[in-house]
Amino acid sequence: GENVEQHPSTLSVQEGDSAVIKCTYSDSASNYFPWYKQELGKRPQLIIDIRSNVGEKKDQRIAVTLNKTAKHFSLHITETQPEDSAVYFCAAHNQGGKLIFGQGTELSVKP
Amino acid sequence: DSGVTQTPKHLITATGQRVTLRCSPRSGDLSVYWYQQSLDQGLQFLIQYYNGEERAKGNILERFSAQQFPDLHSELNLSSLELGDSALYFCASSVVPAGNTGELFFGEGSRLTVL
């Protein structure tokens, strides 16, 4: 069945450093790859997404890259700030309508 | 505020009992998704509805059922509850039809505790 693997499960960086979170997916028919941020005790919220016809997308300090051949996509956060601390989830959407999430990465940005 | 309303916010019940979680999607959204988030777990996809019809099913237990009503609100029914069912249950809605892609707007979740 569909599966999304996300690494690392925890990530600690110093303020100002970059953070990278990686995901792989199993369903080659997946065509949409969003990233959600969930702050402690809050609901997940979309921060960026990428579709299968694009290799890279950037929005200020965050960027996402997609390698369809390798079935791999990554989230890059530059110049991290303490308010970036949260759990980040990648997801893959297949044509069957399922949006499958990875297990999450707990990012901690130390001042 | 995402515009997605979930009730109740918290629910404590005993093993063997049955509960119903309710979700009202954003105005105009036809798709409703249910996810389960257990401690230290990701978001497990349960089921999706579009305009009243079931469109996609995940690893939803047979003890669980859901439906979407004509007014587009959805209910998730959990029966014969077990300790392991304790989790945060999220509802999300989307404006796009099933099979297409777009942002999911999550509710605040219903935290279920089974004692």
Query: What long-range pairs does A9-12 form, CB within 8 A, spacing at least 24?
Result: A9/A103, A9/A104, A9/A105, A9/A106, A10/A105, A10/A106, A10/A108, A11/A105, A11/A106, A11/A107, A11/A108, A12/A107, A12/A108, A12/A110
Q: To the nearest whole angstrom, how far is the Cα of B35 from the nearest Cα of chain A?
A: 10
- Let me know the angle formed at the C-alpha of B24 by B18 and B29, rounded to the nearest 5 degrees: 135
Show which residues on chain B lie within 8 Å of chain A, measured between beta carbons: 2, 33, 35, 41-45, 48, 50, 55-56, 58, 90, 98-99, 101, 103-104, 106-109
Across the interface, do A104 and B98 touch by the CB < 8 Å criterion? no
Contact A82, A111 (CB under 8 A): yes
Q: What are phi and psi of B12, to 5 degrees?
A: -120, 130
Per-residue pLDDT of chain B (115 residues; tens, 9 = 90+): 889 999 999 999 999 999 999 999 999 899 999 999 997 778 999 999 999 999 889 989 999 999 999 999 999 999 999 999 999 999 999 987 655 677 899 999 999 999 9
pLDDT of amino acid B103: 86
Q: What is the tens place of the pLDDT at every residue in A45-77?
A: 999 999 888 899 999 999 999 999 999 999 999
Burial of residue A41 (CB within 10 Å: 0-12, 13-18, 19+) is: exposed
Across the interface, do A98 and B45 touch by the CB < 8 Å criterion? yes
Across the interface, do B56 and A96 touch by the CB < 8 Å criterion? yes
pLDDT of amino acid A95: 67
Q: What are phi and psi of B66, to 5 degrees?
A: -145, 165
pLDDT of amino acid B99: 53
CA gyration radius for chain B? 13
Contact B34, B74 (CB under 8 A): yes
Burial of residue B20 (CB within 10 Å: 0-12, 13-18, 19+) is: middle
pLDDT of amino acid A29: 86
Below-50 pLDDT ranges, chain A: none
A6 CB near a chain B CB, below 8 Å? yes
* A39, B13, B24, B37 from B113: Cα distances, Å: 21, 6, 22, 12
3-class secondary-structure state, position B85: helix
- Of B45, B101, B104, which has the smallest distance from its Cβ to A31's Cβ? B101
